[in-house]
Amino acid sequence: MEITELISNEKRNVVVSEVKDKELVLLTKKRYSFIWKQLKGKVKTYKLQIENEDDILGVIALEDFPNESRVQIKLLAASRENIGRNKKYEGIIGCLIGFAGRQSVTKYGVYACVSLVPKSELRQHYIDKYGMKDTNWQLYLDGINLNLVITKYLPHD
């Protein structure tokens, strides 16, 4: 799994792992857009970091819906310095969505689905960049589109 440092075009290996309880205090609303500690015990929260570095570049909270063969992205955020035109790294959100997709495929095989309820200003971005389908109130990936995202962002895993 890789992200690209935009200033140098250098690829950096990244890892996704579960957020430990003591790390929740690091996930401030100022840097990661949400109050992540309020999800403790409700969903599984994962962090994306450059391999062998401590800084958390992105965070995703996943909720499992086994009866629907679906993993829902409850919250998703890149760190503030990795949002917008002047971001430092490209691919953080794609890697996290790909990770969610891999989790879903591992659990549900060919029936796997990943969904999210986006902020209205991001809806079209998720459709255009990741191939998500629109159901009016939420977006989702399944089948070929889900596999394309996994293959693009997690090619070596």
> In this structure, what token pair is assigned to residue 144?
């070929």
CATH code, domain carrying 103: 3.40.630.30
Residue 33 has pLDDT above 60, yes or no: yes
pLDDT at 27: 85
User: What is the band of 136 on the pLDDT scale with cuts at 50, 70, 90?
Assistant: confident
CA–CA separation, 136 vs 93, rounded Å?
22
pLDDT at 74: 94
pLDDT at 24: 84
CA–CA separation, 87 vs 31, rounded Å?
13
pLDDT at 69: 96
Residue-number span of the structural domain to which 82 is assigned: 2-153
Beta carbons within 10 angstroms of residue 24's beta carbon: 16
Query: Under 8 Å CB-to-CB from 98, ≥6 apart: which residues?
Result: 1, 149, 150, 152, 153, 154
Overall domain count for the chain: 1
92 backbone dihedrals φ, ψ, rounded to 5°:
-60, -55
Mean pLDDT throughout 111-130? 91
Mean pLDDT throughout 92-116? 96
pLDDT at 21: 86
pTM of the model: 0.93
The number of CA neighbours under 13 Å toward the Cβ of 101 is 26
> In this structure, what token pair is assigned to residue 148?
């394309």
CA–CA separation, 157 vs 144, rounded Å?
18
